[in-house]
Structure 1
């Protein structure tokens, strides 16, 4: 997700701006949830469904590097990267008890790189991730992390990840941002695309 101000970048931002509507609709600040939330399978919102259709046509990994850049150096290959293990959340949807994974966050003079890898996912299902402003124990990560609190809820002001689980239930994504998050981004949260109100897993950095 190298930010270069080109027409190609502005086009990608417009696409993700549309996509983020569905993401944000199911990723509010009130995410503490209960066991009851974990057993309810919510219907996807219209905006989430639209985003899913868009991802089906273009692929989660093909969003111009804004949610997953396979050409980027993974964070775990960068010196000084922080490693964190995902913990399952009570708000996770049914059938996700086997999900597990690791996240890395690296900061250099070039900015921030985030990589997530997961196993035990539903093959072919689409997943979203975001950096969050609180630790997992505080409201399951709380709100999304923003570089500018008064800025938009889309990249590059937020850090979003997206990927489709492979046939073996694994998934990975790497994104970069030219800004450093410092110590303000406390966690990364993963959501199933079809159940955005149900936060699946969280990892503290």
Structure 2
């Protein structure tokens, strides 16, 4: 996706603000919740990828629960998450409903369970490495008019058992961890 100068400037500002708030990046999207979100070559949603619940291999699932740090009005958020691992790497898919309509969201794999500090820090392949992909797995999407949204992303590396949860954040309020799903 090629960003025009105003969109690139806005996306860069979002990246800076998100890094300060949560230690990761944000991106711009075309708005239907299914298009690829991309910042400087960093894809956060690949609508052409095979969803994790359809990938051959070891597939873990989890149901989202609303966290105590969620923004007001988030009580009805629900959804499922899948994490598939095989010889080709890791695929993560999330599907949610009850979100604010036409709103940008960002999700990350986390290094702890939902009960442990709302997922704890972001999962990193290299603990001393960067806070952005490919060292972390980020998913981004814009919810539809009906408040539903989904994203799928793949990595050519396996996360092993180091990423027991995925956390969703509103893109404009990264300090507010909205919902978390533990993989089982």
TM-score by length of 1: 0.75
2:142 pairs with 1:149? no
Deviations 1:76-97 (A, max 9, x none): 1113311100011000001111
2:116 pairs with 1:135? no
Corresponding residue for residue 17 of structure 2: 22
State the Cα distance separating 1:21 from its structure 2 match.
Answer: 3.9
State the Cα distance separating 1:22 from its structure 2 match.
Answer: 3.3
Secondary structure (helix, strand or coil) at the match of 2:43 reads: coil
Contact 2:42 2:133 in 1 (8 A): no
Secondary structure (helix, strand or coil) at the match of 1:194 reads: coil
State the Cα distance separating 1:18 from its structure 2 match.
Answer: 7.5
Corresponding residue for residue 88 of structure 2: 110
Gaps of 5+ in 2: 1-10
Instruction: Quickly say closer, same or farther: Cα 1:112–1:20, change in 2 above 3 A.
Output: farther
Instruction: Quickly say closer, same or farther: Cα 1:76–1:122, change in 2 above 3 A.
Output: same
Say which of 41, 45, 64 aligns to 1:68. Answer: 45
State the Cα distance separating 1:109 from its structure 2 match.
Answer: 0.4
Partners in 1 of 2:14 and 2:43 — Cα distance?
11
Say which of 148, 155, 160 aligns to 1:182. Answer: 160
Deviations 1:4-50 (A, max 9, x none): xxxxxxxxxxxx9976543343336xxxxxxxxxxxxxxxxxx98xx
Once superposed, what is the RMSD of the aligned Cα atoms? 2.3
Corresponding residue for residue 55 of structure 1: 28
